[in-house]
Copies of this chain bind each other. A is one copy, B any other.
Amino acid sequence: MRIGELAERAGTTTRTLRYYEARGLLTARRAGNGYRAYGEADLHLVRQIRLLQDFGFELEDTRPFVECLQAGHPAGDSCAASLDVYRRKLAELDDCLARLGAVREQVAAQLARAEQANPRCELTLTEGTVS
């Protein structure tokens, strides 16, 4: 399979696949004409990367999963290093959720206070001439 087909089947672009290769996440053997040649295992690998990317993982965080697959394991998260990434990401997510939640409450409080202090703002807004 060439890069275009792999990109299409993995739901990404050739540009992205070459970028993964430049980052050392994806390797390709070369056909006689210099074209990259991929197999089904590469498709699984790229799909693993995309799944984690969709979770918001950075590319570097997908590396343990990639190495796990390359080592012959059936799934990218069959290795301890991958589980560590899961746990770390989970902690990051919890931290992020806590901070965002706190900010949300602060902004809500600011809004409530400002609306209270200046109750005509909504009126001037709805009465404004919106061209």
B115 and A83 contacting across the interface, CB-CB below 8 Å: yes
> Which B residue sits closest to A111, measured CB to CB?
B86
Contacting residues of chain A (87-131) with chain B, CB-CB under 8 angstroms:
87, 89-90, 93-94, 96-97, 100-101, 103-104, 106-108, 110-111, 114-115, 117-118, 121-122, 124-125, 128
With an 8 A cutoff between CB atoms, is A84 at the interface?
yes
With an 8 A cutoff between CB atoms, is A75 at the interface?
yes
Known: A90-B107, A94-B104. A117 touches B78 (CB 8 A): yes
With an 8 A cutoff between CB atoms, is A79 at the interface?
yes
Nearest 7 Cβ contacts at the A-B interface: A77-B114, A86-B111, A80-B125, A80-B121, A93-B104, A83-B121, A78-B118
Interface positions of A (Cβ within 8 A of B): 55-56, 75, 77-80, 82-84, 86-87, 89-90, 93-94, 96-97, 100-101, 103-104, 106-108, 110-111, 114-115, 117-118, 121-122, 124-125, 128
Given contacts A55-B107, A78-B114, A97-B104, could you give 6 more A-B pairs where the C-beta distance is less than 8 Å?
Answer: A77-B110, A77-B111, A78-B117, A86-B114, A90-B104, A93-B104
